[in-house]
Amino acid sequence: MSKPRILIARAVFPAVIERLSQYFDIESNQADETWSKAQLTEKLRDKAGAFTTGSDRIDADVLAACPQLKICANMAVGYNNFDLDAMTARGVLGTNTPDVLTETTADFGFALLMATARRITESEHYLRAGQWTKWSYDMFAGSDIHGATLGILGMGRIGQGIARRGAHGFGMNVIYHNRSRLDAATEAECKARYVDKDELLKTADHLVLVLPYSAASHHAIGAAELAQMKPTATLVNIARGGIVDDAALAAALRDKRIAAAGLDVFEGEPKVHPDLLTVPNVVLTPHIASASVPTRLAMANLAADNLIEFFTKNKALTPLNPQVLTRA
Ligand code: GLV
φ, ψ (nearest 5 deg) of residue 257:
-75, -25
Residue 122 bridge partners (DSSP): none
Residue 209 bridge partners (DSSP): 153, 237
Cα–Cα dist 215/197, whole Å: 18
pLDDT of residue 327: 76
Whole-number Å distance, alpha carbon 98 to ligand 1 midpoint, is 9
Look up the pTM and report it: 0.96
pLDDT of residue 1: 75
Q: What residues act catalytically?
A: 240, 269, 287
Atom of ligand 1 nearest to the CA of 76: 5
Pick from 75, 100, 105 the residue to mutate for probing ligand 1's pocket: most ligand atoms within 8 Å of its CB.
105
Among protein residues, the one with the nearest Cα to ligand 1's atom 4 is 78
> Is the shortest distance between the CB of 80 and ligand 1 below 6 Å?
no
CATH 3.40.50.720 fits 102-284, yes or no: yes
> Is the shortest distance between the CB of 262 and ligand 1 below 6 Å?
no
> Is the shortest distance between the CB of 26 and ligand 1 below 6 Å?
no
Q: In this predicted model, what pLDDT tens digit does every residue of 206-257 receive, in sequence order?
A: 999 999 999 999 999 999 999 999 999 999 999 999 999 999 999 999 999 9
Cα–Cα dist 182/208, whole Å: 17
Please give the CATH architecture assigned to the domain spanning 5-98+293-327. Answer: 3-Layer(aba) Sandwich (3.40)
SS3 per-residue string spanning the chain: CCCCEEEECCCCCHHHHHHHHCCCEEECCCCCCCCCHHHHHHHHCCCCEEEECCCCCECHHHHHHCCCCCEEEECCCCCCCECHHHHHHCCCEEECCCCCCHHHHHHHHHHHHHHHHCCHHHHHHHHHCCCCCCCCCCCCCCCCCCCCEEEEECCCHHHHHHHHHHHHHHCCEEEEECCCCCCHHHHHHHCEEECCHHHHHHHCCEEEECCCCCHHHCCCECHHHHHHCCCCCEEEECCCCCCECHHHHHHHHHCCCCCEEEECCCCCCCCCCHHHHHCCCEEECCCCCCCCHHHHHHHHHHHHHHHHHHHHHCCCCCECCHHHHCCC
Atom of ligand 1 nearest to the CA of 78: 4
- CA dihedral defined by 233, 238, 241, 243, rounded to 10 degrees? -50
Cα–Cα dist 286/263, whole Å: 8
Consecutive 10-residue runs of the chain (328 residues): their mean pLDDT? 95 98 98 97 98 97 98 98 98 98 98 98 98 97 98 98 98 97 98 98 98 96 98 98 98 98 97 98 98 98 98 98 89
Whole-number Å distance, alpha carbon 290 to ligand 1 midpoint, is 7
Whole-number Å distance, alpha carbon 78 to ligand 1 midpoint, is 5
- Residue from 23, 36, 19, 93 nearest 312 by CA: 23
All CATH 3.40.50.720 domain ranges of the chain, comma separated, are: 5-98+293-327, 102-284
pLDDT of residue 7: 98
> Is the shortest distance between the CB of 54 and ligand 1 below 6 Å?
yes
pLDDT of residue 241: 97
Pick from 112, 290, 292 the residue to mutate for probing ligand 1's pocket: most ligand atoms within 8 Å of its CB.
290
Cα–Cα dist 199/106, whole Å: 23
Whole-number Å distance, alpha carbon 33 to ligand 1 midpoint, is 20
Cα–Cα dist 53/45, whole Å: 18
* Cβ neighbourhood burial of 275 (10 Å; 0-12, 13-18, 19+): middle
Cα–Cα dist 229/257, whole Å: 8
- Cβ(93)–Cβ(87) below 8 Å: yes
- Cβ(223)–Cβ(195) below 8 Å: no
pLDDT of residue 79: 97
